Chains A and B, each alone.
Chain A
Amino acid sequence: MERTQKQVQSATEYNEPKTGADLLVEALINEGVDTLFGYPGGAALPIFDALYKAQDAFEQILARHEQGSIHAAEGYARVSGKPGIVVATSGPGATNLVTGIADAMIDSLPMVIITGQVAQGVIGTDAFQEVDVMGVTTPITKHNYQVRDVKDLPRIVKEAFHIATTGRPGPVLIDMPKDISGEVIEAEFKPNVELDLPGYQPTTKPNPLQTKKLAEAIGNAKKPVLLTGAGILFAKASEEVLEFAEKYSLPVASTLLGLGAFPGDHPLFMGMAGMHGTYASNTALYECDLLINIGARFDDRLTGKLTSFAPNATVAHIDIDPAEIGKNVATDIPIVGDAKAALKKLLSHDIKQPEHDEWLVRIHENKENYPLWFNNPDQEMIGQWVIKKVHEATKGNAIVTTDVGQHQMWTAQYYTFTKPDKWVSSGGLGTMGFGFPAAIGAQLAKPDETVVAIVGDGGFQMTLQELSILQEKGLPVKVIIVNNQALGMVRQWQEKFYAERYSQSIFSIQPDFVKLAESYDVKGIQVKTQDEFIKALPEIFDYEGPVVVDARVLQQENVFPMIAPGTGLNEMIGVKP
């Protein structure tokens, strides 16, 4: 925290009058920002000038594309629990952030995004680099602001951080017209930083009548299941959920994003549920008579066909966002509140032990008889095997980020997450190009931990220009490209559902990833066989700097088991070899 000693190299030290941009930067420092991802441009120049003056106050990261900045900020937010901060310019700067904003919105990541905007005098005239950023981002932000009066700025920043980080976290955008950033603040101006949000009062304490109702339902359940979502991670409620599950011997299924909220190696854990979930989890969700969803939004990739989702269950749903309750699945016991507060309240109730020994036996048998499987070829590599080896080499302790696709599902299946906040993936939006920059953000948040980006050859080629940051900031991120020379999941769907018509999903030409890494002064390794990979593992993980591994895997390998689109949890295919 040396930085804070030196902080606020304010405008006065430069003998210049204070501007709106200086006020913005001071407000960021007040909010405890320590890392900022930015990309400059004309309309944001006053802000970048103010950032120059404040360069000792916090770490500033220049990505090579705005999309890289925002995915890095997302990774930072997911791992640190602090909001990710991004500054970009107007027009293309802002629109290049759109994917990341939407990604953060659907995965509930706290973010504060600041965009430059053309001066107020030319807003609405199709000025150079003008885009209606408010219009574009209204549907994909938790809230957004356009600053119209420089005096509102301190309040707006305070509100933005409050909204982004409380209730259901999400991205908040502040659009800064250039004249506001450049406006000189009158010397006598005293900022008003009172929160003024009468319409925003998130319910964190659960209704005790509802928790009591759930407590009674648990006592009467014969086939209870606990579904753990990412809401548990945001609420830092992993200890409580473990205690709760153990106290009543509740079998646990996890959503994709909830992995790590409950220990993946625990006897009560059944694995991930949903499209590529385990047979034990999906069968339990189909057969259960009580489903307790904590902090998951019943995504369609989890539920499959809704009529086959927990058809005979009493459904309890604990969520901080009331609009999630009953949105997709009819809920019998709605509990609006913070997962930690709700679990503490539930633990305080005197609950009768459920009599569900038969159920536990059935679940245990399903786990034993229908485990995840893959056919291991002799020397050639497949994605599942690669992930297992990465898991062994890192002893399951690494922070792992992924893109979307086959490698993501294999990581969810075979990298057993036992601790919270180690898993960073684009769940709701399924964003290619997310994994690598997210790893950069994660490594900045946790410099002492091993950060592994498991990416596909498709997704990596969307944001690989951010390799620049690795050497620039000395980040030892390990990038494992699960390279099947194809868009694996697209190829899989084309194989299964489009009669093997592989339209635009096979890459006939690829860069030499080793040379590419080396051109960015990053160590590059190509491995083609199992022996080569095993030999390379110490080289990858004992090496102090960043590494890019081009792991050549079989193109034809598919992700199993699977619930085909439009079918139910009870209709899994590929459960057995």
Chain B
Amino acid sequence: MKRIITATVRNRSGVLNRITSLLQRRQFNIESISVGRTETEGMSKMTFVVDVEDSQKLEQVTKQLNKQIDVIKVSDITDKAIVARELALIKIVSNSQLRAEIQGIIEPFRASIIDVSKDSLSIQVTGKPDKVEALIELLRPYGIKELARTGLTAFVRGQQPNTDGSFQSLLG
């Protein structure tokens, strides 16, 4: 099962190496990692997408991450109301005749053309991984020359649904 885990870490030297090495040696299967600075100075947030067999293995991932001295907080946010985004850059084979057709394909995805050359087009798309995936599949027949994805980044929404279905502010 795929899970989305976030970890707040200190920007100490080697922290990324520490965490990836931990995940590797304990044989946790990582689909993607994205890392960046947060609103707090000296703190970064990592978002992992992991593929784990069961809840016991999942618990181990979070516990082992938590055990690291430079890790401040670990959360499994998969089952929460979250905003999750990935960015992909897709370079496809194209020419001037195809450009309008491709424009028509990418428009519903709110993707944009960011580079044009004689025989290729570069497209930028942002969104949930399944949306990114869907666009890639639609573009594949044209011939993908290059593809780069950031991996997922995410956090929980400002409001979480209550068990009765109504929304309650997390800040309230």
Contacts and interface: CB of A to CB of B under 8 A. Distances in A.
Interface string A23-61: 000000000000000000000000000000000000000
B69 A139 contact: no
Nearest to A142: B69
Interface string A313-327: 000000001110011
Interface string B46-61: 0000000000100110
A360 interface: no
Contacts of A163: 69
Interface in B1-54: 9-10, 13-14, 17-18, 21-22, 25
B59 A326 contact: yes
B67 A134 contact: no
Contacts of A144: 14
Contacts of A135: 17
Interface string B124-159: 000000000000000000000000000000000000
A138 B17 contact: yes
B95 interface: no
A200 B71 CA distance: 8
Contact of B67 (A138, A148, A321): A321
A95 B36 CA distance: 33
B13 A146 contact: yes
Given A198-B72, A322-B66, A139 B21 contact: yes
Contacts of B18: 138
Given A163-B69, A197-B69, A198-B72, A326 B56 contact: yes
A391 interface: no
B60 A326 contact: yes
Give the contact-size bracket for chain A.
Answer: 20 to 34
A323 B69 contact: no
Given A199-B72, A323-B67, A139 B60 contact: no
Interface in B53-103: 56, 59-60, 63-64, 66-72
A199 B66 CA distance: 8
B6 to A, nearest CB: 14
Given A138-B17, A139-B21, A322-B66, A199 B60 contact: no
A236 interface: no
Contacts of A327: 60, 63
A344 interface: no
B74 to A, nearest CB: 10
Nearest to A198: B72
Contact of B69 (A143, A321, A322): A143
B60 A323 contact: yes
Contacts of A534: none
Interface of B: 9-10, 13-14, 17-18, 21-22, 25, 56, 59-60, 63-64, 66-72
18 contacts: A134-B17, A135-B17, A138-B18, A138-B21, A139-B22, A144-B14, A146-B14, A148-B13, A199-B9, A199-B70, A321-B67, A323-B60, A323-B64, A323-B66, A326-B59, A326-B60, A327-B60, A327-B63
Interface of A: 134-135, 138-139, 142-144, 146, 148, 163, 197-200, 321-323, 326-327, 330
Given A138-B21, A199-B70, A322-B67, 19 more contacts: A134-B17, A138-B14, A138-B17, A139-B22, A143-B69, A144-B14, A148-B13, A199-B10, A199-B68, A199-B71, A199-B72, A321-B67, A322-B63, A322-B66, A323-B64, A323-B67, A326-B56, A326-B59, A327-B60
